[in-house]
Amino acid sequence: SQQGEEDPQALSIQEGENATMNCSYKTSINNLQWYRQNSGRGLVHLILIRSNEREKHSGRLRVTLDTSKKSSSLLITASRAADTASYFCATEPGGSEKLVFGKGTKLTVNP
Amino acid sequence: DVKVTQSSRYLVKRTGEKVFLECVQDMDHENMFWYRQDPGLGLRLIYFSYDVKMKEKGDIPEGYSVSREKKERFSLILESASTNQTSMYLCASSPRYYTEAFFGQGTRLTVV
């Protein structure tokens, strides 16, 4: 079964707005990762946050992790049309190294 | 740059054929993965390998097998292709111990 579940399934915003996507997971983790996928292509790693971290930044990306609630959020600030893609969270549940993904959030940024 | 290369971008096979999907990585990564991606279902893990000749089943291994004879190459085998295996297949690799994975460009397989 899939470990992570992203919310919402789809999100449509205007350029310049912020986009927030959430991920919930089921079991203990070592870290949580976010990936991006442009239509029909492979995934690209965005950011990794370790279980002992609460917040991490990378450029216009901000990720938070709440291990007590088993949830994470990805914030993209000042979005651009080029941010249009699907975003996935991924974890390695239960100490294994199997990387398990959620179903993704499809983000559309309108010019 | 890390490169993960999948042998085909598009593939059309007939029901009952034995199908091989090949994946090669050039960064000496220990871990390699095979996923399938279907609309509304996200990425589902088929098999995972953490070393040569070592493999673990993922969430949906039925109808698939894998082979890892060399560290850089991880093959996904559909023993007898069926139409419900029509999907996008993604290969990935990563170093050991909880680090980022690198993906190939995907193989869109159609079984007719």
Residues in chain A within 8 Å Cβ distance of B99:
48
The closest CB to that of B104, out of A42, A98, A104, belongs to A42
What per-residue confidence (pLDDT) applies to B49?
96
Structure tokens at A16: 């310049």
> Would you call B60 an interface residue with chain A, using a CB distance cutoff of 8 Å?
no
Which of A66, A70, A73 lies closest to A93 in space, CA to CA? Answer: A70
Give B8-54 pLDDT, tens digit per residue.
999 999 999 999 999 999 999 999 999 999 998 999 999 999 999 99
What is the pairing mode between strands B42-51 and B54-57? antiparallel
Percent of chain B with pLDDT over 90: 90
Q: Which of A2-11, A59-68, B97-106 has the lowest mean pLDDT?
A: A2-11
Question: Residue A4: its pLDDT value, please?
Answer: 72
Alpha-carbon span A82 to A34, nearest angstrom: 17
Instruction: Answer whether residue A41 shows pLDDT above 90.
Output: no
